[in-house]
Amino acid sequence: MSRLRVAIAQFNAHVGDLAGNAARILELAVHARAAGADVLLTPELALSGYPPEDLLMRPDFYRACAAQLDALARAAVLPIVIGYPEESSGKRYNAASLLVDGRVATIYRKHRLPNYEVFDEERYFEAGREPCVFELKGVRCGLAICADVWESGAAESAALAAFVSSLIAQGVWNLAVSAVAPLAKLVADLTVQTTFFPVFNLGVLFLFTRSLYRVLASEVVLWN
């Protein structure tokens, strides 16, 4: 059985400090490699800090994020999963990518954009539609961001994609186990879930994550 050693970068990203956040991630990557990790996971929008708010209205901010992301990929000493704001073809996304071998290897765009309580992501971002799976050391990893776990929609689209392209089925709270588990077992061994979630709601987040584990029938790594 393949084994993947995962390190989680639990750090305080400063909003707008792209260079400073990237430097901190690289520092943590060095520590992770020294500890024997195979991959470093960073929080939602770790590169920009969360929430970037009206910085996300500035085109130059996305260009700066892209440049910093490329520089981080070239400097990384081990694979890194990183969250960041992305602009593509005139649309803007809450994205996460795997950085490996000096490049941005995958891009996942958040499906479900919360727009309640402390969140206003619909103001800034378009919703992604494609699932994402990548392989490290023989372990297939599915990537999800925050609300993709507990709001319906992402799981159904990913489950459909799994039939035709062997991609990961994303899990949600109200999706029948019988519909998702067989698909997920075929396409992913590990689900990695990056999030930014208010501390006062962490108990709810753990409940959703436990449900995700049961639905997907795969291991789950959650970090905030």
Q: Could you give the residue numbers annotated as active site?
A: 44, 110, 146
Q: What residues contact residue 62 under an 8 Å CB cut-off, 6+ apart?
A: 85, 86, 87, 92
For 6-66, give the DSSP string.
Answer: EEE----PPTT-HHHHHHHHHHHHHHHHHTT-SEEE--TTTTT-S--GGGGG-HHHHHHHH
- Tell me which amino acid residue 80 is: I
Residue with tokens 């994402």: 132
Q: Are 43 and 78 contacting, i.e. CB atoms less than 8 angstroms apart?
A: no
